[in-house]
Structure 1
């Protein structure tokens, strides 16, 4: 039986992995576009992305496939079963980071730029970084 503190620890660990994966992906993307986004802005982006994903998951106008993918990502992050066990130093978290980055890219592409822009809670620069990471064109009003 899973205790409440184990569940809370799993959720916190999943969120930390999501944040690290997002920061790594954005740092790689930032190197492709020097000066487009500062490191400080990237570090502030994770809470905005978490809110974006929550809003996308609860929006009935977003395709059901996007909402299912978000649920599957959450289940994977909370699951004790991993492709590579987390107790293996460094590489244990790489599979989680790669799956999170891939899922974010798929979700943002399938939801579409308009849905991302509609639900984006952060700054215009953060939105531009997320759209760039997803391979979507920037908003025409930016």
Structure 2
């Protein structure tokens, strides 16, 4: 829905900018509260992103919103739009994970001991 709102010409510029900021915040690694803080780090993503989407949808006039909803339903009936960026991102993530796991598998498969050992003190 947000993608259709971004592309629709009858939407004013300020909801487009606000929507772009919400999407950028959702995908950026920078958070207002860092994720390593146990509960609050994830709570800001859970609260701020949906709140930003709700505010962005309320900024758009009702007639434009109904037109965009009709376009979204039409797109879903004709077949879901392909998101190749997501496919490439998942492939990159899988490739990086395989590169990280290969050295561990290599050490486990080889018959030689680990590169270091703990020796008891005498």
Instruction: With the length of structure 1 as denominator, give the TM-score of the two structures.
Output: 0.45
**Cα RMSD (Å) of the superposition?**
1.6
The 1-side partners of 2:37 and 2:66 are apart by 38
Match of 1:62 among 11, 15, 19: 11
The 2-side partners of 1:68 and 1:56 are apart by 11
Larger RCO: Structure 1 or Structure 2 (Cα < 8 Å, ≥ 6 residues apart)?
Answer: 1
Match of 1:117 in 2: 66
Unaligned runs of 5+ in 1: 1-51, 123-142
Question: Is 2:39 the counterpart of 1:108?
Answer: no
Unaligned runs of 5+ in 2: 74-122
Question: Is 2:29 the counterpart of 1:80?
Answer: yes
The 1-side partners of 2:36 and 2:59 are apart by 33
Runs of 4+ in structure 1 over 3 Å off? none
Q: How many residues align?
A: 71
Match of 2:85 in 1: none
